[in-house]
Amino acid sequence: MGWPNGAVRYPSARQTIIALVNQEPTPQPCLRDPKVTFNRYFRQGRYRPPEPTLDTLTLFQLSPDLTVAVPRKPKVRSSTVLSVVPTPLGVDLERRSHEVRKLFFAGYGRRVLRQGYDPEDVLQEIYKGLLVRNQGKCPFNPAKSSFGHYVHMVCGCIVSNYHRRYSRLRRNESFGTLGPEENELQDVAASDLAVVEAEQEDMMVFTSATGSLLIRVGERAVEEGLDMMFATECANYMLKGYRKSEIAVKTGVSPTRVAKTLRLIRSVAHSWRADAGF
């Protein structure tokens, strides 16, 4: 076989066909093998196409009148410019708010009712959460997840946060006061709290107990080489409910020193409570 660089002799017809198909004078084992025979590739033998029964002269004798057809002008294909429109991210609540509502009630409606919340209030929180996520780092992307899966995931997060928030309020807030009977909840206006005088004895016991605690804190601070006045001041702030960061701001001392003093106060309070029997 003749190539632009010279003639090449192949050991078999298969190697010849591989070289022709891959346009490679010296075919390597990794090249594609069409797996056809020599006669089929070159249309020889039984693969030869059938020859016409009439020759050209006979054809002209049968059709003396010849019509010359005007060649058609080739069609010019118009070039079409395709522009890729980016898919908008986020949930369009103006068009799909009813879908969000259906998904919420189907997946979390019973759970919200069982927990004692108004489903419409929770639904508004879900709408708010979707709007926030549209402007945040994790908006809805159709290329990453389906609409139903994304809304279901957001509903789960919002419902859990809603329950955690109002459970904390229920633990820390009490609507009314207990009446004389066990587990009887009364309105404060209807109870007898206004006519009951304050118990001075309880305040005296509290003052005495905290005084002994402050004394122990001062003694331990001296033993540990800390400032007794600063330790007593931190203990007073702790009794009033202040946290470490707030105590650091109140006293103007570094949070590290405040944390060390608070650890000492907690240690003293633990042993003091065991001795006092609280």
Rounded-to-integer distance, Cα 197 and Cα 194, Å: 8
What is the tally of helices (H) and strands (E) in the chain? 10, 4
Q: Out of 133-147, 201-215, 240-254, which region has the weakest mean confidence (pLDDT)? A: 201-215
Question: In this structure, how many other beta carbons lie within 10 angstroms of the beta carbon of residue 135?
Answer: 8
Q: What is the mean pLDDT of residues 119-123?
A: 92
Rounded-to-integer distance, Cα 269 and Cα 267, Å: 5
pTM of structure: 0.37
pLDDT in tens, 152-190: 989 988 999 898 888 877 777 666 666 666 566 666 666
- Opening angle at CA 87, ends 84 and 93, nearest 5: 150
pLDDT in tens, 186-236: 666 666 555 545 555 455 555 666 777 777 888 888 888 888 888 888 888
| Model confidence at 76: pLDDT above 70 | no
Question: Under the phi-then-psi rule, with left for phi > 0, alpha for psi from -120 to 50, and beta for the rest, what region is 51?
Answer: beta
268: Cβ–Cβ under 8 A, 6 or more apart, which residues? 213, 216, 217, 220
Question: In this structure, how many other beta carbons lie within 10 angstroms of the beta carbon of residue 222?
Answer: 12
Q: What is the dihedral of CA 84, 85, 88, 93, to 10 degrees?
A: -140
| Model confidence at 82: pLDDT above 60 | no
Residue 126 structure tokens: 């879900």
Q: Which residue has the tokens 């109002």?
A: 166
Q: Out of 28-32, 143-147, 197-201, 251-255, which region has the weakest mean confidence (pLDDT)? A: 197-201
CA 176 to chain CA centroid, Å, is: 41
- pLDDT value of residue 166: 85
Sign of the dihedral through C-alpha 88, 90, 91, 94: negative
pLDDT above 90 coverage of the chain, percent: 8
In sequence order, what are the beta bridge partners of 7?
A: 2
